Amino acid sequence: MKQIMVMIVLLASFTVAHAAEDVAVKAKAEGVATFYANITAVEPIMEAFQADTGVKGQYTRISTSKFVATILTEFEAGKLMADVVQGPLPVLEILKQKGVLAPYSSPAAAGYPEWTRKDEAIQLFGIEYVGLIYNKDLVKAADAPKRYQDLADPKWKDKIVMANPANHATTISWLVGLKENVFSSEDEWRTFLKGLAANKPMFVASFGPTPAPVESGEKLIAISMPKYIITKAPAPLDWARLEQPLFGSPRAIAVTANAPHPNAAKLFVDYWLSAKAMGMLATDVGEYVLAPGVFPPIDGMDKAKVLPIRELSDEEIQKWGTEFQAIFDVK
């Protein structure tokens, strides 16, 4: 019996290895894997992919606000050029509903936590984590917020910058995530929101413009992404080590249905999920990835609790956006 089991395992691993080899050979013949995403500084990964596999990685960056519209337009016209797409989980779920994604279970995701295998098509690989970053030349670590509630302290009046809570989807989801994961009651959460609004934060269009006013000292603290500590080095940025967890939207990847280069697409997803590529993403860009044991080189981040927030539907985002528009007096 034991011998039969060993035979089965050997046969299975041989089949997997053979299949992987087969994919690699076919991918090389296809020559290119086209990747649509909106993620920073992935060019080194594309170069490494080409060097390691012989398949060219071609990256098209499309902003999140145009992502679904662009892909659906190409898909409906039968001209979707992407082999692989990557974006926030809700974006990929919309694309899956429209039939844009193909099922693919990557062997490279075997070590990832169970909850990252969202379904047969979508694999989560990171969390777009949101934290509080501050100017360490102007704010002492001891004075930095310890809890989210501290953002409502009047001492931060006119000193905060954040993405517009009336329309920035990740900020809206994050604020709702705080209600569901941090605050003990809705009243307590609403008191926090009113306090934060009373501090008159400066609003910008997205996370991208949030660090600059903190670097220059125009503002002292940003509701932003700790990854900027890496990408904006040597700017005097640090992150507030909160007693509470950090939250963010899960980032997902998938192969497209009718991909022009189906084998290159699989090979690319396998490569993307590997410890090497995820290590590059964490080290060079400061991303929080879900590959086991890989952390961004930000002091203390390996100890931090970083959790995915519940993905909100577009209707919920619209509804909360309207509500935050009133609370934060966004005209």
Partner 1 sequence: MDTGRSKLTWSLILIVGALTVCPVIMLILGSFSEGLTAFGSFTVQKYVDAYTDPALAGIIVNTVVFVLGSSTLATTLALFLAYLNNRTDIPCKFLFRIISIIPMMIPHVLFSVSWALLLNPSNGLINLVFKQAFFLESAPLNIYSLWGMILVEGLLDLPIAYLIIAPAMASFDVALEESSKVCGAGAWRTLLRVTLPVLRPAILAAFILGVVRSLASFAVPSVIGMPGRVYVLATHLYQMISTGFSTDYGKAAAVGMSVLAASITLIFIYRAMTAESEKYVTISSRGYRPTVVPLKAARIPLFAVVALLSFVLIVLPVAVLFYTSLVPYSMVPSAKAFSLMSWKHWIEVLKDPISLLSLKNSLYLGVGGATLGVALSVFVAYTIVKVKTKAAGILESLSFLSFSFPGIVIGVGFMWFFVRTPLYATIWALLIGYIATYLPYGVRPLASAFIQVHSHLEESSLVCGAGRMTTMRRIIIPLLVPGMVSGWILMATMFVRELTLSVVLSRPGTEVLAVQILRFAEDGLWGRLSALGIMMIFISTALVLLATLVGSRFKPAGT
Binding residues for partner 1, per CB under 8 A?
Answer: 34, 38, 40-41, 43, 58-61, 63-70, 72-74, 76-77, 79, 81, 88, 90-91, 94, 158, 164, 166-169, 172, 202-206, 208-213, 215-219, 228, 231-232, 234-235, 314, 317-318, 321, 329-331
Residue 72 beta carbon to partner 1: minimum distance, rounded to whole angstroms? 5
Single out the residue of 129, 158, 135 nearest to residue 289, CA to CA.
129
For partner 1, the closer of residues 143 and 329 by Cβ is 329
CB 111 within 8 A of CB 88: no
Q: Give the distance, in angstroms, between the CA of residue 65 and the centroid of all CA atoms in the same chain.
A: 15
Residue 43 beta carbon to partner 1: minimum distance, rounded to whole angstroms? 7
Residue 55 beta carbon to partner 1: minimum distance, rounded to whole angstroms? 14
Single out the residue of 271, 266, 232, 250 nearest to residue 45, CA to CA.
271
Q: Tell the burial category of 155 from Cβ atoms under 10 Å away from its Cβ (0-12, 13-18, 19+).
A: exposed
Residue 21 beta carbon to partner 1: minimum distance, rounded to whole angstroms? 28
For partner 1, the closer of residues 189 and 320 by Cβ is 320
Six token digits for residue 82? 């992407």
Phi, psi of 104 (to 5 degrees): -160, 125
For partner 1, the closer of residues 96 and 109 by Cβ is 96
Tell me how far apart the alpha carbons of residues 183 and 185 are, in angstroms, rounded to a whole number.
6
Residue 58 beta carbon to partner 1: minimum distance, rounded to whole angstroms? 5
For partner 1, the closer of residues 160 and 290 by Cβ is 160
Residue 190 beta carbon to partner 1: minimum distance, rounded to whole angstroms? 21
Crossing angle, helix 43-53 and helix 275-285, to 10 degrees? 150
For partner 1, the closer of residues 30 and 112 by Cβ is 30
| Helix/strand/coil for 158 | coil
For partner 1, the closer of residues 32 and 275 by Cβ is 32
CB 125 within 8 A of CB 278: yes
